[in-house]
Structure 1
Amino acid sequence: MSKNLTIKTLFFIFTILIFSGCEPDVPKDHYSLKECQEELLEATDYAEDGGIDRIVVIKKERKMYLYKNGTIQQTIPVSLGKNPVGQKEQKGD
């Protein structure tokens, strides 16, 4: 084999190795963008005259309570992700 062919072969192998690792692995405990979009499209908007003055989320119950003048106006189920159990691990999780 000629020196020129060996260099081209090594360059080709090196290029393949670099580009084969470019796409990061997506953790299995995260929603895909499509799943998030579908969930948002199924959600109902809450718009009532006078608005809400307090929002309380009880994570254990997976519910959000909307209050106005101290009384519950609506209870809404909330999604906490695919793995909502356990302590927080980092800011934003």
Structure 2
Amino acid sequence: GGAAGTWWFDRSAGSSRHVEAPRIKAVDTLAAGDVFHGAFAVGLAEAMAIEHALRFASAAAALKCLRFGGRLGAPDRPGTLAMMAATWPETA
């Protein structure tokens, strides 16, 4: 995770895959991992495809890193979806 993005093994493709992280200038990484995992869990609970859920989680964590304040800097869904559209236009 983090600036390097996220790698996972795609069993159906039989290979490792990668989702790039949004490029940002982080000001506070406190709680970014928690935000990532929470958003990823939401994506899985909503039956998003793994790649889409990882992009959703990466966008949420990146937005958190743009704000000070631990969990108080956690983004909302509209902001996360806007970050996804800006980073990966094909997800819009």
TM-score w.r.t. the length of structure 1 is 0.21
Higher strand share: 1
Structure of higher CA gyration radius = 1
